[in-house]
Structure 1
Amino acid sequence: MPHIQIEATPEIAKLLDFSAMLKSIHHELDALGYGRRDDFKSRVHITNQALAGDDPQGQFVVARLIMTNPRPASMQRDMARVIHDTLRAGIEAHQPSFWWQCCVLIEMFDASSYFKTDSHMLAAATLAR
């Protein structure tokens, strides 16, 4: 499973090619052995309303790394760092003039609270019969 949920303010979203960034994150996490590429699921939500501190012009991107499989804390931090550093580099490449923040939260859930159906697995089971 890991899921990566990203919330971004509109000005940050205009700067970033999320499709390319998410693909890069999935490939890097897979290459590091932190999960199988097909198990990563990522999505981006662009906010309609947001406020950073008291600055109505402040912008941010907040990613949530959500996992159900137990991993050592150091691996969780390494995974979050890959996400953070990819997003940060994307923002910094544009040298925005506005104040911005880049954050990653790590969330763990017990695997028993997660249900999944994968059509690839269903098709393979059907072929094996």
Structure 2
Amino acid sequence: MSLDSTSESSTVNTYGIRGFPANCVCGTKRTIYTSETNKNPGRTFVRCLTRRKNHLFKWVEDAVYEEVQDALPKIVLLEAELNKEKSDIADLKGVVAELMEEVVRTKTEVKRCKVMVKILLVIMCLISIVLVVSLM
């Protein structure tokens, strides 16, 4: 849909709405139009469907610019959070490596204990045999 926007080029009214507004301040839906003026041919803008003077009017490129401006601080925060998570992951990898070393040490110790128990059983059996033979 196209609209002649000569008057809007000098009277831009956004009511402090940043980015792409869903509705006008009057509650009416907004839509995107294309300028057919000599000054702004083919330039797209957002406007209230009622087309009343002094209602919402915003150039699309201004809305996009505001959306990007508003997103940049959020991106910086997300980047900082991501870096913290990466650091936490690196720390956890270190903990996992330590635990794996402890598992290897514990398995070795368990094997030693099993061997010791077998040796003790053999010794106890030999002592029992010697006692039984000597008592007879």
Q: TM over 0.5: same fold?
A: no
The structure with the larger Rg is: 2
More strand per residue? 1
- Shorter-chain TM-score bucket reads under 0.3
Q: TM-score, normalised by structure 1?
A: 0.22
Larger RCO (CA within 8 A; separation ≥ 6): 1
